[in-house]
Amino acid sequence: MEMHEKLKETTTYLRNVGVVAPQTGIVLGTGLGSLVNEIEIITSVDYASIPHFPLSTVESHEGRLIYGTLANKTVLVMQGRFHYYEGYRFLDITFPVRVMKALGVSQLLLSNAAGSMTPELPKGSLMLIDDHINFLPGNPLRGVNDPKMGDRFPDMSRPYSPEINALFKQVAAELSISLKEGIYLAVMGPNLETRAEYRMFRTFANAVGMSTVPEVIVANQIKLPCAAVSVLTDECDPDHLKPVDIADILKTAAEAEPHLTRLFKEVVARLP
């Protein structure tokens, strides 16, 4: 089935269950799902019920699409995303971004958990992504191009909206939330990196993770302005590297989550 046919089936289903005219799309990453507690939920749909949606297999990802109001704005929230390491194609990983745009969202906000490779960004910090490097083994735009889906060669000179990033920085300053900017590097995973890999990556970027970049590439192709914030859940200093397990990462994400929730809520309130 062609992509535009899948989109039509999925959007028709979601409109029929009450998802109408969302203004902002939000993707919540590892351990960062409690923003939904701030949402006045109109409808909540399990991914398993949505035509052509993958299933989230990561334990900390709920696997629900939530439509409701946040700060008096309508939002469509993915409580859990999809990753290449789960076995999905990049087309599957990014399909929900196309669905959000087809349903009417005019901007996309993303969050993720990442490892800090910069001493000035300690564990627990929030990092606004200014740019990224794609170290994933593929691209969601690879293959035969359907002009209905967007440009064949989308520009990526400013993949993250300067206007939305400026709003994030303004809101963070007003709320006294520390928010640094940095470069995010996406890798395949699911294992964490070796000391040698961290030594190489830190010459390119400030943080490393396993998501976000495919969604941002597609958002740029379909001209959906986006912004993303990483919660830095571990410190990746190759000269003093300590073993990290997922429980530690989730604990750090949970501790930083209230700040991220306040930040996202106020940004949503000020978006058009």
Q: Using 50, 70 and 90 to split pLDDT, how confident is the model at 25?
A: very high
Q: 248 or 112, which is more confident?
A: 112
DSSP label at 49? G
DSSP label at 152? S
Strands 107-116 and 226-235, how do they pair? parallel
- Tally of domains within the chain: 1
Q: Which residue has the tokens 């003093």?
A: 240
Give the model's pLDDT for residue 136.
98
* Distance separating alpha carbons of residues 190 and 74, to the nearest angstrom: 34
Give the model's pLDDT for residue 31.
65
- The DSSP element (H or E) to which 11 belongs, if any, is helix 3-16
Q: Answer for the pair 28, 35: CB distance below 8 angstroms, yes or no.
A: yes
59-82 pLDDT tens trace: 555 789 999 999 999 999 999 899
95-150 pLDDT tens trace: 999 999 999 999 999 999 999 999 999 999 999 999 999 999 999 999 988 888 88
Name the burial class of residue 253, with classes exposed (0-12), middle (13-18) and buried (19+) by CB atoms within 10 angstroms of its CB: buried
* Distance separating alpha carbons of residues 206 and 203, to the nearest angstrom: 8
Q: Using 50, 70 and 90 to split pLDDT, how confident is the model at 58?
A: low
Q: Using 50, 70 and 90 to split pLDDT, how confident is the model at 203?
A: very high
Give the model's pLDDT for residue 60.
52
Give the model's pLDDT for residue 251.
87
C-alpha to C-alpha distances, 8 to 11, 88, 142, 211, nearest whole angstrom: 5, 21, 22, 26
Locate 6 and state its tokens.
């899948």
Q: Which residues pair with 271 in a beta bridge?
A: none
What CATH number is attached to the domain comprising 74?
A: 3.40.50.1580
- Provide mean pLDDT across the span 196-215: 97
- Provide mean pLDDT across the span 21-28: 96
Range of the domain at 171: 3-270
